Amino acid sequence: MRTSPALRAAALAAAVTVLLPVTACSESGGKEGPDGPQSSPLAADAAEASTSGDLTSQKLTWRPCPAPSPAQGSGKAPSPLPGGTPWECSFMRAPLDYANPGGETIRLELIRARAKNPDKRIGSLIFNFGGPGASGVATLPAFGTDYDKLRAGYDLVSFDPRGVGRSDGVKCETDKQLDARFEIDGTPDTPAEVNTLVNSTKTFAAACETNSGRQLPHVGTTDAARDMDLMRQVLGDKKLYYFGISYGTELGGVYAHLFPKNVGRSVLDAVVDPTLDSEQASLGQARGFQLALDNFTKDCADRGEACKLPGTNSKEVEQGISGLLDSLEKQPIQGLGSRQLTETLATTGIAAALYSKQTWPLLEQGVDEADGGNGALLLALADSLNGRADNGRYDNSTSANTAINCADSKQRFTADETEAKLPEFRSASQVFGNYLGWSLLACTGWPVPGVWETPDVSAPGSAPILVVGNTGDPATPYEGARAMADALGKGVGVVMTYEGQGHGAYNSGNACVQKTVSGYLLDGRVPAAGTVCK
C-alpha cells in the first residue's frame, strides 16, 4: 500500500504470513554490483534488451533465475513449481524519463513461470506485491504455489518496479546507518529526541540524493504504470492482465486511469483508498492496526489460561502490551546478539505480526518473552518488516519505499505541524498512534517534490476491475475497497468483501475468495457487486 515507512508492507504485502529472517548469503559467488551480483548471466540481457529504436519491439532473453541479490532480500535461487516448471528471469529496458523516451534507459528485472497449457494460454498475469518497494522477482516465487492454479490460463509474471531490487534500485544509507536509524526513538518525547528524529530523516534524504539523485524524480507510481504498459507490449499482450496487492492496487488504479482501453481482467486485493492523502492514510492505518490489535487481544482473552498474556478481557491484554512498550521506552532489553529491543522496534514487531492471523501466535510468544526480558522474537519480527536479514544486510525496500512515496505525495510536514496532529493519532490508537503520527516526517527534506495530493484512478471505458476488501485488514482498511471502486467509476469497480483477518484476501486461503477470483481471471465470470465471502 501507500504505507508510511514506519509500517512498510514491503515483503509482507502479499505474503500474509510474516517470515522471520533467513540467512542472507549470496549464492552467486560473484562481486556485488549496484544492481546485484555482476556475475549473473542476466547481466548480459540488459545489453541485449537495449535497443536504439522503439522499446516496444525489444526481445527479452529468458534464463534461469539467479539467487536474489541483497537488494532483493538475498536467499537461494527460486525452486521450480510443483510439476517442475522453472522460474525464468530477464531484463526489460524502459525510459528513465518518459518525457524523453529516446533518452537514457533503465533496466527492469522480470520473472515468469509459463502457463501449464500453451493452447489455453490467455496471456501474462502481471503481479505487483505492494510496499511500495517490494521485489516482485523475489516475492512471486516465494508464494508461487498460492497462485499456481492461475497458470491454467496465464504465464505468471512479476517484476521489480523501477527503484526496487535489481531494477536500478535506489540506494541511500549503509547497513550500519540503517541499524542506527531504526534504533532511533520513533516516538520522541523531548525536544532533543525530536531533533534527533528530524535530523535522521534529513540525513537519510541527503544520502538518497547523493547515491541515487538521478533516479529520484522518476520512481513514482505514474512512471511504474507506464512501465507496465510497455511490459504488456513487450510480452505480446493486447490487454494488461493484472493482480495488484496493497500498494499494487494503487498502481493498478493509476494504470487504469492512464490506459483504460488496455485493461484486461484485473484484480485489486488489500485495497488502498485513493481518496486519502498521506496524512489521512497514516491515520487510517492507525485505526486499522488498532482494529487488528483489538481482534488479537479479544482472541487472547477469550482463550483464557491458554493465552500466555495476562488479562481477563481484551482491554487488560492491551494494557499489558502498552505497559511493555512504556517500559521499553525507559529501558530497552536484550534482543539479538548485541542488539537491543527498543520501544520503536517492539512496536514494529507487533505491527509485523498483525499482518496475518497466522502470526498471532508469534505475537503472543514475542510479547510474553519480552515481558520476561528476552526481546529476540519481537526484534526478529521487526527485522522482517524492516527488510533486515540476520547477517545485518538490508534489502533496498526502505530506500525504495521512501523514494516512491515522496515522489508521489506533495505533503511535507515540519516537526511542529506533526506534533500538533498527534492527539488525533493517539485517539485512533493508543499503541500505534504516536508511531504513525511521527512517521509523517518521512518526506521532510526530500530533494524531489511530489506530484499529487491523491492519485487519479478514474477509468471510464475500462473493463471491470474486481476490488477485494478484507474487513479485518490492518494495513489497508476495508473502507478503501469501496472508495477505490467508486473512484474507478460506474461499471468499472466491482466490490467483493472478505470477512476475515489479515492483510489481503486471496492469500488467506479462503476457498470462496479463491474460487471467485480465479473464476474471473480464468473464465471471465464477473461476480455480482457486493459478493461476500466468510
Annotated catalytic residues are 246, 473, 503
Residue with cell 535530523: 199
Residue with cell 481484551: 314
Helix (H, G, I), strand (E, B) or coil at 20: coil
Q: Which residues make beta-bridge pairs with 493?
A: 465
Residue with cell 498527534: 422
Percent helix, percent strand, percent coil in the chain, to nearest 5: 45, 15, 40
DSSP-derived secondary structure letter, 374: B
Exposed (0-12), middle (13-18) or buried (19+): which is 351, by Cβ within 10 Å? Answer: buried
End-to-end CA gap in the chain = 23
DSSP output for 461-528:
TPPPEEEEEEEE-SSS-THHHHHHHHHH-TTTEEEEEEEEESS-SGGGT-HHHHHHHHHHHHH--PPP
Rounded Cα–Cα distance for residues 474 and 290 (Å): 8
Apex 211 CA angle, 38 and 222, nearest 5: 90
Q: Write phi, then psi, for 63 (nearest 5 degrees).
A: -140, 165
